[in-house]
A and B are shown apart, each in its own frame.
Chain A
Amino acid sequence: MARVYNWQLGREMSYWYPEDRPKKQFAAVFDINKCIACQTCTLACKTTWTSGKGQEYMLWNNVETKPYGFYPLAWDLKLLQMLGAQDWKGGAYPGETLFESAPAGQRVMGWRPEERDYSYPNVGEDDCAGRIENGAGLAVPHLTWFFYLARICNHCTYPACLAACPRGSIYKRPEDGIVLVDQGRCRGYQECVQACPYKKVFFNPMTGTSEKCIACFPKIEQGLQPQCFVNCIGKIRMAGWVSKPEDARADNPIDYLVHVKKVALPLFPQFGLEPNVYYIPPVHAPASFLHQMFGPGAEKAVETYRSAVDDPDLGGLMGLFGCTEKVVPRWKRSGDSILGLEENGDEIVRVPMREPVFIRQAFDQKYQIARTNCP
């Protein structure tokens, strides 16, 4: 095991390979507050990549309801139970990661889902965390709650799948940090399936190889966002590039949300993989649950997000989500507009801070006719 630095944990940790960060790291921000679990992202991915034989059960992208939704079944609960109670101290995590708690003879602590664990992708959908008792009122955080968690591969800085593969069939691309299974080399040992805590590697029973989300790399190579991003009707997603904290740039939209405003947080950072999909936590869920899922910055992130209405930069940047198919590496606010920019400053898209309001009169004076109120 090598010693590597994991900024999400605020410390060095053990990993199977030495630290070797890519030139750029693919990353994403998902705003949970905007997700309605329409599963359009799921279908966009399914129809693009996993319509083949042996891929029937695979959902490289899925949306599950928390706290009672899982795909595969109990993926997070099982691992949290295996890891045992761990603590954060301030912003740092002195607890054990999945690499540091690996059992004898294994590279990563993990578990391998069985077929039936994949059989209920909609389990727990829209199930509340509790009953609505007599006299319950509406308060924030909600007394009873649920939220939708959209999940893809996190294209981790320290991928457990990559560490676990005994024959080096999984690699992290140096140019963009995307993690891929070499389909020409994989022999289907399923070690990666066992090791990935997010359960985003899947065994194809027809070809006998394991497959995973590829971050739509053919699109990324053309400067375009992946299918699950551009098909999101809730516009909850933004793809881009995340830097190390010390290299963060305020004009990089992902860096701004992750490092400057700290409003977007990694999923289960305590696992130690430095995952690169960052979530804006839901404002209505209890802090203790968010703390477990997103780390100690969750409460502050919610507070910051709720203040976005008074923050023209943060509030404006949220308007860039889902407004262009292109990856937006730079941004700036100009008056009442938010500009999405190329690396060289060329404008990709311009979004108004406030959409203009038009009031459509119910009666058309010109034609002397009542308008029907349909789209």
Chain B
Amino acid sequence: MRPNLLLTILVAAALGGCQKSKVPVSTFEVMVVPAATVPESPTDAAWDKAPEYLAKLIPQDLVEPRLLVPSTPEVRVRAIAAGGEVAFRLEWVDSTQNDLARPAEFVDACAIQLPAQVGPDVPAPQMGETGMGVEIAYWNAGWQASANGRGDDIQDVYPNAAVDHYPFQAASLPKDSPEQAAMAARYSPARALGNSVSGPHSSSVQDLIAEGPGTITPADQTTSRGRGERTELGWVVVITRRLPQGFSESTRDQVAFAVWQGAQEEVGPRKMRTGWVPLAMKEAS
């Protein structure tokens, strides 16, 4: 067994044993608690009133490339809704902080997934299926670091990099001019094409849609927000998205979660995930 994995399991067990008794527990579903506002911070005291659901994670082993060695065993989930939004707080154990994607290096990440339509027929839990799509809000530790101020220029990725010259930094091109930006874009095709993966990142979250494995596509725009913080044991992340249309105290929905550990080379389909978990709205008291 890999040392990191062993440590993760031991710490997870410890975390489970030390669970604060004041936090209510939801056993069978993720219970969304209505509130006046959604807390943006993972450490907001409002979270203490939201019941915690312990979501067991399983390796994604249905489509290649599969994850064959389990890593993160579980993610603790709480949810609060207000003003047409729902915030999910995800907390999991991860002994290493990985927030820089470089060759053969990957970042920590998590995601929440909901059916595109609230209804009795739910899509396949693994990224949905043709005609029955899912909506995903994906949080990335690297994007969080960028949004926190690290930036994602090459000097941010490699602080000690010494570069002689880039063509778009020629003296003939005024600094920060549109001409310079246009030329720089020619040397960065992903950014030139507007690939939201390629940055620069001002948000740690991206909204995606999918209709099956391998089909995730950025939503027309990302309206979800995210904030992740490092804890002593791992990560705690709040992802806030719009409340699914038609979801209320009288209806039920589904939600699924996924976690990636960068240190375990988890990326894309190589992830720990849940199946669908029932999602219910607590009646306002």
Q: Which residues of A contact B (CB under 8 A)?
A: 51-57, 104-107, 112-115, 118, 164, 166-168, 183-191, 193, 202-209, 211
Contacts and interface: CB of A to CB of B under 8 A. Distances in A.
Q: How large is the interface on B (under 10, 10 to 19, 20 to 34, 35 or more residues)?
A: 35 or more
Contacts of A187: 197, 216, 268
Contacts of B153: 53, 206
Contacts of B168: 52
A51 B187 contact: yes
Contact of B64 (A118, A166, A168): A166
A57 B168 CA distance: 18
A349 to B, nearest CB: 32
B104 A183 contact: no
- Main secondary structure, interface of B, reads loop
Nearest to A163: B64
Contact of B152 (A106, A203, A206): A206
Contacts, number: 130
B161 A56 contact: yes
A207 B199 contact: yes
Would you list the 6 A-B pairs with minimal beta carbon distance, nearest first?
Answer: A52-B187, A105-B66, A207-B198, A189-B268, A184-B193, A183-B189
A258 B248 CA distance: 68
B102 A205 contact: yes
Given A53-B187, A105-B68, A166 B63 contact: yes
A104 B197 contact: no
Contacts of A189: 267-269
Contacts of A112: 103-104, 265
Interface in B90-129: 100-106
A115 B102 contact: yes
Given A53-B153, A211-B189, A184 B194 contact: yes
A114 B187 contact: no
Interface string B122-164: 0000000000000000000010000000001110011001010
B63 A183 contact: no
A207 B188 contact: yes
Specify which of A51, A53, A166 lies most central, judged by the most chain B CB atoms within 10 Å of its CB. Answer: A53
Contact of B103 (A53, A104, A167, A203): A203
13 contacts: A51-B167, A105-B68, A114-B104, A166-B64, A166-B213, A183-B193, A184-B195, A187-B268, A188-B197, A193-B103, A203-B102, A203-B104, A208-B101
Nearest to B186: A52
